[in-house]
Amino acid sequence: MAVDNVLIERLQALLGETGLIRDPQRMAPYLCDWRKAYRGRAALVLRPASTGEAAAAVRLCHEAGVPLVPQGGNTGLCGGSIPDDSGEQVVLSLSRMNRIRALDVQNDTVTVEAGVILAQLQAAAAEAGRLFPLSLGAEGSCTVGGNLATNAGGTAVLRYGNMRELTLGLEVVLPDGQVWNGLRGLRKDNTGYDLKQLFIGAEGTLGVITAAVLKLYPAIRSRATAWTALPSAEAAVALIGALRARCGDRLTGFELMSRQSLEFVLRHLPGCSDPFAEPHPWYVLIELSDPSAEAALGEWLEASLGEGFESGLVRDAVIATSEAQVAALWALREGISEAQNHEGPSLKHDITVPISLIPEFIASTGARLEQALPGVRIVCYGHVGDGNLHYNLSKPPGMEDAAFKSRQPQLTTLVFDATSAMHGSISAEHGLGQAKRDAVRHYKDPVEQALMRALKHTLDPRGLMNPGKVL
C-alpha cells in the first residue's frame, strides 16, 4: 500500500518536525549507502526519538500496509539499509535513539539504544575502565543497531567473538508494533528459546532493534604487536596454532595479508612503507593484549616468533616498539580496501571456510581463477582465527573496466562454488542484504531456507519488514 496523507498526518503528529523527513534533499543521505554502491527511493524517512515513538510509528505503518526499512549508520556493504526504487517504502532511521541508558560496572554490562555509534560505546566503556571489544573500520559511523542486525565481526573476533557473543539482551519493536522487552543482563537464562539470536543477524527483516544489553570486559593495559613475513598460508595456520598454545586468549589479532594486498597499499597510500627490504608471499599482523600492565607479552611474542624462525614458519619479523609503530603496522592492514579502489572496479567476496582448509582454498581457488581470467589480481586478506577471508579480485592490468565487470558473475560463482565445496559460508561478516539474496538461495540448505521463511512468516506475515532483503 502507498503512503497517503492520512498516514503522513498521523506520523507527523507522533514524531514532530525533527522526526519525519519528506523533503527530497534532506532525504537523500538516507537513500544511498556509505560506499554509494546502492541507491533507492522512499516515501518518507522516520526518525523516532524513543522506543515508544518507534513502536507507534511501526504500528501505524503496519496498519496502513506500508513496508519499512530499518537503518543505522548506513555503512553496511550489502545494501540492506537502502529502500528499493519503488518510492513506496519508508526508512526508519534509529539515529536519534542514541542514549547509553545504563552502565553496570559490577555486572560488566552496558544498556544502549540502537542508534549509539560504535565508537561512542567504546569510549563510554573506556571511561568506566572497561572494554567494549567490537572494533571495525566503520566504527566512527556504524551503530549498535546495525552491528546487531548484521552480527558484525571485526579484528578482535578471535578473542571476544562477534556481536552474537557480545549480547545478553535486546529490546525489539516487532513488525506489528508490539515491543518485546528482553533487556536482561543475565549470563545464564535457560527459560526456553533464545529469541534474541533470531533478531541478531536478521538484517532488519524480523523487527526493529531499539536497545541492547551488551557485555563489557576488563580494559586492556598491555599490548604487543608484530609484523611477520611468512612463506605460505600453511605457515599462517600453523603459526596461529603455536601462538594460541603459548598465549591462549591473549592472542587478540592475527590478520593475514597476501603480497598483492600489501603492494596495493604501498602503491596508493601515502606514508606507508614496507617493513622489510625483501618481498615475501604472505604477511601476518599479530597482536597480543592483556588487562594486566605487567603481562610479559613482548617476551612471549619474541619466544613464539623465535620458534617460528627455527621451524621455518616465519621468514622475518618486526616487533613494534612504540605506539606510532603499532599505528603504522595497522595502517598497512586497514588500508587494503581503500588501496584496492585505486586499481579500478573490484569484486569483493567475504567468505569463511574451516581454518584448516584456508591454505587449500587459497591454492585451488587461485589456480581456477587464473585459468578463468589470466592475470586477475587476487587481494586476499582476513582474520585467520575465524576462517574469514576477504577474497577480492581486481582486473588484470590493461583490461577494460566494462570487460572485467562482464566477467564478474562467472568469477563470483567460481569463488562461491569453491567456498561451498568446503562447507564454508558465502558471507562471513557483511550479511546478504540485497547483494547476495539470490546467491544464498543456491548455496544454503533448502530445509534451512524453509525454516527461515517459516520464521519470517510467523513474525512478519504481511512481509512489511525490510522486504527484498535476505530472503
Ligand X SMILES: Cc1cc2nc3c(=O)[nH]c(=O)nc-3n(C[C@H](O)[C@H](O)[C@H](O)COP(=O)(O)OP(=O)(O)OC[C@H]3O[C@@H](n4cnc5c(N)ncnc54)[C@H](O)[C@@H]3O)c2cc1C
**Identified binder of ligand X from the candidate list 19, 83, 153, 467, rule CB under 6 A:** 153
**158: helix, coil or strand?**
helix
Q: Is residue 224 close enough to count as binding ligand X by CB under 6 A?
A: no
How far apart, in whole angstroms, are the C-alpha atoms of residue 52 and residue 99?
14
Size of the site for ligand X (CB under 6 A): 36
Q: What does each C-alpha distance from 173 to 108, 133, 169, 402 come to in angstroms? A: 26, 26, 14, 44
Q: Is residue 114 close enough to count as binding ligand X by CB under 6 A?
A: yes
**394: helix, coil or strand?**
strand
Stretch that binds ligand X, among 152-160, 175-183, 216-224, 412-420 (CB under 6 A): 152-160
Q: How far is the CB of 6 from ligand X (least distance, A)?
A: 26
**Identified binder of ligand X from the candidate list 57, 61, 74, 362, rule CB under 6 A:** 74
Q: Is residue 285 close enough to count as binding ligand X by CB under 6 A?
A: no
* Residue number, 138 or 236, with CB nearest to ligand X: 138
Q: Is residue 385 close enough to count as binding ligand X by CB under 6 A?
A: no
Q: Is residue 138 close enough to count as binding ligand X by CB under 6 A?
A: yes
Q: Which of residues 32-61 bind ligand X (CB under 6 A)?
A: 34
CA pseudo-torsion sign 5, 6, 12, 15: negative
Q: Is residue 208 close enough to count as binding ligand X by CB under 6 A?
A: yes
Q: Is residue 111 close enough to count as binding ligand X by CB under 6 A?
A: no
* Residue number, 146 or 308, with CB nearest to ligand X: 146
Burial 261-292 (b: 16+ CB within 10 A, else e): bbebbeeebeebebbbeeebebbbbbbbbbee
Q: How far is the CB of 32 from ligand X (least distance, A)?
A: 11
Look-up of cell digits 588487562: 291
Q: Is residue 269 close enough to count as binding ligand X by CB under 6 A?
A: no
Among 10, 22, 118, residue whose Cα is nearest residue 58: 10
How far apart, in whole angstroms, are the C-alpha atoms of residue 254 and residue 382?
8
Q: Is residue 180 close enough to count as binding ligand X by CB under 6 A?
A: no
Q: Is residue 464 close enough to count as binding ligand X by CB under 6 A?
A: no
- Cα angle at 221 between 321 and 225, to 5 degrees? 35
Stretch that binds ligand X, among 120-128, 201-209, 281-289, 406-414 (CB under 6 A): 201-209
Look-up of cell digits 537503518: 71
Sheet strand arrangement including 179-182: 100-104, 109-113, 208-215, 167-173, 179-182
Binding site for ligand X (CB under 6 A): 34, 69-77, 80-81, 94, 114, 136-138, 142-143, 145-147, 149-150, 152-154, 203-204, 208-209, 429-430, 433, 466, 469
